[in-house]
Chain A
Amino acid sequence: MSGRVLVGVKRVIDYAVKIRVKPDHSGVVTEGVKHSMNPFCEIAVEEAVKMKEKKLIKEVVAVSCGPQQVQETIRTALAMGADRGIHVEVSAKEYESLGPLQVSKIMAALARKEEAQLVILGKQAIDGDCNQTGQMTAALLDWPQGTFASEVTLEGGHVKVVREIDGGLETIKITTPAVLTADLRLNTPRYATLPNIMKAKKKKIANMKPADLGVELASKLEVLRVDEPPQRQAGVKVESVDDLVGKLKEAGRI
């Protein structure tokens, strides 16, 4: 066992920022907007770092694909405790059409190259909401997958994963190497503190191109249009109980 864990991190628009759609409906405004690490990726990093602290694994490698700016996100992962980073450089133009399939091809190629024992990803990113990368990475590698993990126990060549499914929890046992995707309740991600960010500057980030990994980035998907969600309609004030009952009947609620 290599004892190496690969963690995918994505740079997304900060969760607290109000998203605005571009006037031509081709996408959302990203210029001059605060970005940070996808919250589910933070959970994935935390889980890997915790495993390392328990000495169950030896090394945590943070990976991100995208233009130069994603190095900030890798730095955050390093500040949280990852050992080194890999930046797969994708130009800003290519990045626009980079989808889960292309990313999972990169992740799969890296998992093979680094001989990873585990690949941990966030279950989905809060920008694309695709929830596909983990599943496709597992399929491309032909590895078992433990998705929507809310509890992970690593024991020898097995991983016990408690999964969040509709209406309850499911416990599965899979063999390593495996792909895991983190759900919200898996753990409490630590805050990347200032001293740790400074220390993280000394850690190494390897730079590579998708072509180095033999991955073709062409996407067959085309975004036709991006729209804002419909505006919530204003409520009404009612004068009396009778009014309220009348309105509810009108709306077919009673």
Chain B
Amino acid sequence: MLDENKPRKKPLVQVKNLKMHFPIYRGILKRQVGAIKAVDGISFDIFEGETLGLVGESGCGKSTVGRCVLRLYEVTDGSIDINGTDIATLSGVELRAKRPEMQMIFQDPQASLNPRMTVGSIISEPLDEHMIMTRDEKRERVGELMDAVGLARRFADRYPHEFSGGQRQRIGIARALALNPKFIVCDEPIAALDVSIQAQVVNLLEDLQQKFGLTYLFISHDLSMVRHLATRVAVMYLGRLVELGDAETLYMTPRHPYTQALLSAVPHPDPAQAGNIERIILKGDVPSPANPPPGCTFSTRCPRAQAKCKQDSPKWREIGEGHFAACHFIE
């Protein structure tokens, strides 16, 4: 390290030039006629112990990124380095050995829990798969996990349908924690919950991060919740990152026109201010990722777009300390 006083944080996850293209097949011969470029060349780091928020509109590819990072999809191109190993190229056996380090919390707590399994068996399934433990040890571990997420141990023999949405999400969190992971991808974990329950789950995620030193990739479309939770935030648009920076800086002084429009669109729960907020209303919809516009993908909706934007794709570059953006017109 050059600067002794300022120790650089260590990246736990390093994603480089990640691409995920889903082929489109047509006709009797099922020939490939194109590809949906769900993720088209993105790079970012996640430092140990931090929460990286990933925001964007639906269909921009944020969930696909989350799944690629855990290699739930076979990525088209790029490398994903988690704790020193590039998981994009690991063989099945090696990948399986790596799985305990990285886990996921899913959006829909109803769909991600098997309705025919008891809560106890859902939480202990990862233990069955990856650990050699006696039945008593497993029961003890399940009990610990249920304590950690705030579920009473006596519920272990119940089924998911007997729980409310917030409690089901707690079951999903307990399952993700079972193998002491370092890194957890949270894919819209609160989107399906009511406002008053959202706060409970977010507080739980924060407590667990503190307690177990977890690193999160927090995917969400709820910009105010991401601001609350994330250390750094990445903004995605149509398969690419448009801006990434420290949460505070990004929310206070967004630089990319898309980030500016996105942040200005969030309604403020304060009617006294409702008239004073300058709002950038974007025209039109997000273009199809099967046929993205040439040049800058945001150029079709950008209020500042010029001829150049429709031809050249802007480079992803550092515009301030730890602050990245992809736009021709940022100094």
Do A and B originate from a single complex?
no
Contacts from B to A (Cβ < 8 Å): none
